[in-house]
Amino acid sequence: MKNNSNQNNSREEENHSKDEGSISSLDSTFNQTLRNVQGLLKGRSIPGKVLLSRRSDPLDQSNIQDPSPNYERSFSYNESETSDRMANELEEEVQSSIKPNNNENSNSLNSSTSDTENTSKEAQKSTTGARCTDSARVAKFTKVLSGTTVILEKLRELSWSGIPPYMRPDVWRLLLGYAPPNSDRRGGVLKRKRLEYLDCVSQYYDIPDSERSDDEINMLRQIAVDCPRTVPDVSFFQQEQVQKSLERILYTWAIRHPASGYVQGINDLATPFLVVFLSEYLEGSVDNWSISDLSPDKISYVEADCYWCLSKLLDGMQDHYTFAQPGIQRLVFKLKELVRRIDEPVSTHVEEQGLEFLQFAFRWFNCLLIREIPFDLVTRLWDTYLAEGDSLPDFLVYIFASFLLTWSDKLVKLEFQELVMFLQHLPTDNWTHQDLEIVLSKAFVWHSMFNSSPSHLAS
């Protein structure tokens, strides 16, 4: 009897072990990614993209109590005393953000919770003494930028989590490929490009209407109408001279890019560049700036830098602004599929209400969220955009999914008309950098899980 009992017990244990093994293997990739990202985020000041790179310089033992021997971290530019709370909030959101539709997935996710907590604790131990301060972050940027040739990959890693404001003009020029990485050539290239822009303005803009075609006249009129509507909440953009600068930049770009010409929305995309490059010459709040304080030469430098950086940005997404804007339509479809995979209740509810993603997400892709968040957060968001480089269009899908699902609990309670009104006027007026960092962090998590596994997004 005892032998039979022992045999039965051993069989039960063996079956139980097999069941656990099958559940673990079913979703091992998902759980591993979740554990890795949560563990890395634990102990962060503000959740952001965490990058690991081999350390080439010796560790500063005065700042690091428990260092890892091989790796260093890139942290968000904005540090906060609420670091632990923010990290814990993000972990809770990440754990609840993927809403499974069957018990098997749910059990698999729950089974990883204890492992995730253990991994997070281990990560926190090794990073408690290594939280990056503003001064340390500035030192990292200074080191990368001071070399004879800037290593762009390192610069992208640092920039993803935010760029110190006074360094932003130089870094943006480098990330976009407008300024060359070689410091010896940089001054000469910028001088030549700025003169080339002035030649284009003289050739295309500073001419009478009698020398323009009807299409060019209509395009210039449309730009003149749109410029006063650009960022209406910021008084700086209501200055007539600022609007004239925008008009010159946009018209010159449109003439030199006849495949798309001017499309409404491109006016918004020029504004972050204008603010960042003006910040090299104007101090204080943007609301207190006056462009008339600058000499004509400095204004022309700013316009030229805006023009070339806008050109570089749009070169990577030309089909977003050609006829019928097929690039945007393609990304909106990907967004719909990603939301369906991450949060099916929201996806199903939106579909049942008869609301198409194109009705609200088209503007997001067209203006890159500039109209959806406070303008003082836009430059921080664009640090991440530009750090993504050629991968930006695909990563936008994950940022916008994270942005939309910020309000997932509310969205499932709204009917069609309420949904439309809510999505057209999202409650972001009081958003801070912390809110934006959470959106970017979740986007990075989902990108890590799904981007290399497109089959997960197949219908």
Residue 198 CA to residue 196 CA, distance in Å, equals: 5
pLDDT average, residue stretch 222-233: 96
Q: Please indicate, yes or no, whether residues 300 and 333 belong to a single structural domain of this protein.
A: no
Q: Please indicate, yes or no, whether residues 211 and 312 belong to a single structural domain of this protein.
A: yes
Q: What is the pLDDT of residues 268-317, one digit of tens each?
A: 999 999 999 999 999 999 999 999 999 999 999 999 999 999 999 999 99
Q: Please indicate, yes or no, whether residues 366 and 438 belong to a single structural domain of this protein.
A: yes
pLDDT given at position 452: 75
Q: What is the pLDDT of residues 136-165, one digit of tens each?
A: 999 999 999 999 999 999 999 999 999 999
Residue 263 CA to residue 174 CA, distance in Å, equals: 26
The CATH number that applies at residue 401 is: 1.10.472.80
Q: Which of 37-51, 93-107, 262-276, 313-327 has the lowest mean pLDDT?
A: 37-51
- The pairing of strands 71-74 and 51-54 is antiparallel
Q: Please indicate, yes or no, whether residues 234 and 357 belong to a single structural domain of this protein.
A: no
**139 within some domain:** no
* Number of domains observed in the structure of the chain: 2
Residue 72, strand partner residues? 53
pLDDT given at position 444: 96
Measured between alpha carbons, how far is residue 120 from residues 39, 65, 87, 94 in Å?
A: 4, 18, 10, 13
Which residues lie closer than 8 Å to 13 by C-beta, 6 or more apart? none
Q: Please indicate, yes or no, whether residues 333 and 411 belong to a single structural domain of this protein.
A: yes
**In 3D, which of 101, 137, 136, 94 has the Cα closest to residue 117?**
94
pLDDT given at position 318: 87
Q: Please indicate, yes or no, whether residues 307 and 356 belong to a single structural domain of this protein.
A: no
Q: Please indicate, yes or no, whether residues 311 and 345 belong to a single structural domain of this protein.
A: no
pTM value? Answer: 0.74
pLDDT given at position 74: 36
Tokens 């008009």 belong to which residue?
247
The answer to whether residues 148 and 182 touch, using CB atoms and an 8 Å cutoff, is yes
**309 within some domain:** yes
Of 287, 316, 345, which residue sits at a domain end? 316
Residue 54, strand partner residues? 71
Which residues lie closer than 8 Å to 431 by C-beta, 6 or more apart? 373, 374, 377
Q: What is the 3-state secondary structure (H, E, C) of the chain?
A: CHHHHHHHHHHHHHHHHHHHHHHHHHCHHHHHHHHHHHHHHCCCCCCCCCEEEECCCCCCCCCCCCCCCCEEEECCCCCCCCHHHHHHHHHHHHHHHCECCCHHHHHHHHHCHHHHHHHHHHHHHHHHHHCCCHHHHHHHHHHHHCCCECCHHHHHHHHCCCCCHHHHHHHHHHHCCCCCCEHHHHHHHHHHHHHHHHHHHHHHHCCCHHHCCHHHHHHHHHHHHHHHHCCCCCHHHHCHHHHHHHHHHHHHHHHHCCCCCCCCCHHHHHHHHHHHHHCCCCCCCHHHCCHHHCCHHHHHHHHHHHHHHHHHHHHCCHHHCCCCCHHHHHHHHHHHHHHHHHEHHHHHHHHHCCCCHHHHHHHHHHHCCCCCCCHHHHHHHHHHHHHHHHHHHHHHHHHHHHHHHHHHHHHCCCCHHHHHHHHHCCCCCCCCHHHHHHHHHHHHHHHHHHCCCHHHHCC
Of 316, 337, 370, which residue sits at a domain end? 316
Please determine, for residue 107, whether its predicted confidence score (pLDDT) is greater than 70.
Answer: no
- Residue 197 is part of which domain span? 185-316
Please determine, for residue 26, whether its predicted confidence score (pLDDT) is greater than 50.
Answer: no
pLDDT average, residue stretch 68-79: 36
Chain centroid offset of residue 437 CA: 9
Please give the single-letter amino acid code of residue 367.
C
Q: What is the pLDDT of residues 112-142, one digit of tens each?
A: 444 444 444 343 333 333 333 488 999 999 9
Please determine, for residue 78, whether its predicted confidence score (pLDDT) is greater than 70.
Answer: no
Please give the single-letter amino acid code of residue 78.
N
Please determine, for residue 192, whether its predicted confidence score (pLDDT) is greater than 70.
Answer: yes
Q: Which residue has the higher pLDDT, 107 or 391?
A: 391
Q: Where is mean pLDDT largest: 5-9, 24-28, 355-359?
A: 355-359
Please give the single-letter amino acid code of residue 227.
C
Residue 343, strand partner residues? 99
**297 within some domain:** yes
Of 289, 316, 343, which residue sits at a domain end? 316
Burial class (CB in 10 A: 0-12, 13-18, 19+), 215: exposed
Q: Please indicate, yes or no, whether residues 360 and 295 belong to a single structural domain of this protein.
A: no
Could you tell me the two tokens for 404?
A: 């939309």
pLDDT given at position 134: 80
Q: Please indicate, yes or no, whether residues 277 and 383 belong to a single structural domain of this protein.
A: no
**243 within some domain:** yes
pLDDT average, residue stretch 35-39: 47
